[in-house]
Structure 1
Amino acid sequence: MVSLFLGSLAVALWFAFHAITDALYFNDPRNVDVALKPWMTPRYVVLTYDLPRPLVMELLELDPDDDRGIRLGRLAQERNISMDDLTTLVRDATAAYREGQE
């Protein structure tokens, strides 16, 4: 019983640690609306640009069930566009989304 409790506590602490570090990282102005890098994923775009996940998946033309962990470098390579072009695409969509929110 004690080992089950300690295991559950360890898992809860692990999730709490990651939630806190993500919140601190993505609320730092230096980490908002950054240029996209090949190692980033759609989830990173959702968090750093503060966009809804369905919007990002639609923007990147991804299947929400199959392409969740695809790296943006691979995505750009498959679409034959540069990372700069992908960044511009995301930033333009972000600006349009934010204008619609006002």
Structure 2
Amino acid sequence: MIRFIKRLWSSAPFAVLVLAASLIVAGVFAARSIAFWAYWNDPAHRAQAIEPWMTPKYISHSWRVPPDIVIDAMGPFEHVKKGPMSLEHIAATQDVDPQVIVNAIQDAIQDFTDERQNATSKLKPSKRLPQGVK
């Protein structure tokens, strides 16, 4: 194996470096994907009670709703720092209590889930057979 790698290195060192770098990057992304999958498939992280330390993206993942639902419920706010902002930071930019935003998000999620349940119940076919069919 080492001879093979030495022969590759002597014939195309740049290609070997590119291959090694791409394998490392692929490994990092694979590890992150597996960790992300394991975290969000843990039932303890699903539909968690919304708290001020959470970010909008975390809430949308936990409740399995589109991020737009959560962001629209918070109202307009100024993104004052680089990176994700918690509900506490967003409430501070709006000069409101974080619980006001939490309640608005809970209402928006409830409305979304009610609409989704109504839409799926309308799509379910009837179990009854048409008359004359046995």
TM-score norm. by structure 2 comes to 0.61
Residue matched to 1:3: 17
Query: For residues 52-92 of structure 1, what are the alpha-carbon distances to aligned partners after superposition, in whole Å with 9 as ceiling and x for unaligned?
Result: 122222122257xx84722222002223212x443332222
Offset at residue 17 of structure 1 (A): 1.6
**Structure 1: runs of 5+ lacking an equivalent:** none
Q: Is 1:36–1:86's contact at 8 Å kept on the other side of the alignment?
A: no
The alignment covers a number of residue pairs equal to: 98
Same amino acid, percent of matched pairs: 22
> Do structure 1's residue 30 and structure 2's residue 44 form an aligned pair?
yes
Residue matched to 1:46: 60
Distance 1:3 1:62, change over 3 A: farther
Structure 1 stretches (4+) deviating beyond 3 angstroms? none
RCO comparison, higher one (Cα < 8 Å, 6+): 1
Distance 1:74 1:29, change over 3 A: same
> Which of 18, 28, 49 is the equivalent residue of 1:14?
28
User: Which residue identity does 1:30 align to in structure 2?
Assistant: A
* Structure number with larger C-alpha Rg: 2
| Aligned-CA RMSD value | 2.2
Residue matched to 1:88: 103
